[in-house]
Amino acid sequence: MVDLKRELATLQEMLPSQENLRKENDLHCSLIEKLIREELHWCQKSRVRWLTKDDNCTKFFFISTLTRRWRNSIDYIKDNSGTWLNSWQSISYTLLQKLQSIYCPFSANLYPYSSDTTLSDIILPIISEEENLTLCTIPEFDEIKDTLFGMGSIKAPRPDGIPILFYKHY
């Protein structure tokens, strides 16, 4: 964007000609498009939905994104002995130890199953046959439409990078 602004300023200092005016118009359109894309990017990243379409508050979106990131960060954590930890290495090690103690309660010696045991022998089925059939049916068009239109239009884009508004419109 800085390059576009610099190129536009250079072009505006030149003598006006038909070619220069056309180039200036093209650069101006490209700059506006980049600004709109940047605003949309920060709007989606900040997850703010209450502002109107014409606000152009990129700085606001950027600050709200930084605030959200700061609020969601883990800077300190207390370990089992009551000591406060603040380095990333000690925090990650403590979290890893805690999660391993929760999700890996059996040591290799105390593991209650034989080597012939399969995963299907250990995990009991939670979903009934009837629920499985319901889950395997193809959804109706109205179900898909209701779900799609129930989602926020310009919230964070899907993994393909396209916001929901695109799917609602097309």
Q: Locate tokens 């290495």: which residue? A: 89
The pTM for the full model equals: 0.33
Cα–Cα nearest to 38, from 50, 49, 26, 30: 30
Q: Are 77 and 94 in contact (CB under 8 A)?
A: yes
Q: Are 78 and 84 in contact (CB under 8 A)?
A: yes
Query: 3-state SS of 116-127?
Result: CCCHHHHCCCCC
| pLDDT tens digits along 36-87 | 788 777 767 666 555 555 555 667 777 777 787 777 888 888 888 889 998 8
Give the separation between CA 19 and CA 32, rounded to whole angstroms.
Answer: 20
| pLDDT tens digits along 74-125 | 888 888 888 999 888 998 889 888 888 877 765 554 556 666 677 777 777 7
Q: Where are the domains of the chain?
A: 1-72, 74-117, 125-170
Residues 6+ apart with CB under 8 A from 135: 127
